[in-house]
Amino acid sequence: MKINIDKNSGYCFGVEYAIAMAEEELNESSSLYCLGDIVHNDKEVARLAEKGLKIISREDLKNLSNCKVLIRAHGEPSETYQIALQNNIELIDASCPVVLKLQTRIKNAYENAQKHNGQIVIYGKKGHAEIIGLSAQTNQEAIIVTDETDLEKLDYSKPISFFSQTTKSTEGFYKMKALIEKNIQEKGFAENLALFDVNDSICRQVANREPQLTKFAQENDVIIFVSGKKSSNGKSLYEVCRKVNARSYFVEDETELQAEWFENCESVGICGATSTPMWLLEKVKNAIERQFCLHTQEG
């Protein structure tokens, strides 16, 4: 049985950069606060916690002073920076450049929408750290849509500027776009189609993984998708695998592997989310080698 680790899996640039900054600081001071989980992967969070990384909430931040706090790749609203300034907190800003650029785009779109009685709509996961920062650019007035039922919140008589959380599924984004266009027409505002401003703001590194994973899932008999259950990106990418390979299984780590998955299997593909560390993929591979096969070959 061959075991292939997807060479395109592992951290995206933003997550890799944030973790590198955290480790650099921890090597010098052995203690650092982080506003929220640095990555949506409990195994990596636990590893960094052993090095001294302490996860805090926004409420915790208000009660801290004279310390260092890491801002993770998801970005933060301006309020976070104001609190840090007031409390003499040194921020180590690891916000992803792609997210920061999107915050600016949404802020500009919101200011324009104010002039034309328009609305900002963002496809994303409610309560997600990135969405909190993006919505803050609109004074919390952006309409967050996760599924079709959320589209009932839109006023189709008004212009719509449509964006996406950077880690969402491209297929999901364009499905929502099509539904919005359909609603504009069916509700009698066809003239507003020309005012429907669509902004595909999904990170290209994330978007490119969908066709890459489709091909990878087709090339292997069994797919082991490794991701934290909190990862929105992980859920989306796992569905990409499952659509083309019914023998796709979602695990957080090697302890969840089951022997029956590997019956009548000649090749296993191991892949993960943009928040899944490569060391964890290797650990899963090693566990499969030890427990379920005698001969392996990494592709």
The tens digit of pLDDT for each residue in 11-48 reads: 989 999 999 999 999 999 878 999 999 998 999 999 99
Q: Which two tokens stand for residue 236?
A: 């989306």
pLDDT higher at 216 or 12: 216
pLDDT at 249 over 60: yes
Distance CA 169, CA 255 (A): 28
* Predicted pLDDT of residue 182: 97
* Predicted pLDDT of residue 206: 85
Q: What is the pTM of this model?
A: 0.86
The pLDDT tens digits of the residues spanning 164-196 come to 999 998 989 999 999 999 999 999 999 999 999
The pLDDT tens digits of the residues spanning 219-237 come to 999 999 999 998 888 998 9
Catalytic member of 25, 76, 130, 252: 130
From the CB of residue 124, how many other CB atoms can be counted at a distance below 10 Å?
Answer: 24
Domain spanning 2-10+206-292, CATH architecture: 3-Layer(aba) Sandwich (3.40)
Task: Let me know if the fold of 2-10+206-292 is the same as that of 13-96.
Answer: no
- Is 79 a catalytic site residue? no
Q: In this structure, are residues 209 and 13 in contact, taking their beta carbons and an 8 Å threshold?
A: no
High-pLDDT (> 90) share of the chain, %: 89
pLDDT at 214 over 70: yes
Under CATH, to which class is 13-96 assigned? Answer: alpha beta
Q: For the domain with range 98-202, which CATH number is right: 3.90.1150.10, 3.30.2230.10, 3.40.1010.20, 1.20.140.70?
A: 3.40.1010.20
CA 269 to chain centre: 22
Which amino acid would we find at residue 264?
N
Instruction: Label residues 30-54 b or e (16+ Cβ within 10 Å = b).
Output: eebbbbbbbbbbebbbebbeeeebe
Distance CA 270, CA 261 (A): 13
Which amino acid would we find at residue 125?
K
Q: In this structure, are residues 74 and 53 in contact, taking their beta carbons and an 8 Å threshold?
A: no
Q: Which two tokens stand for residue 182?
A: 């359909």
Domain boundaries, the chain: 2-10+206-292, 13-96, 98-202
Q: In this structure, are residues 103 and 202 in contact, taking their beta carbons and an 8 Å threshold?
A: no
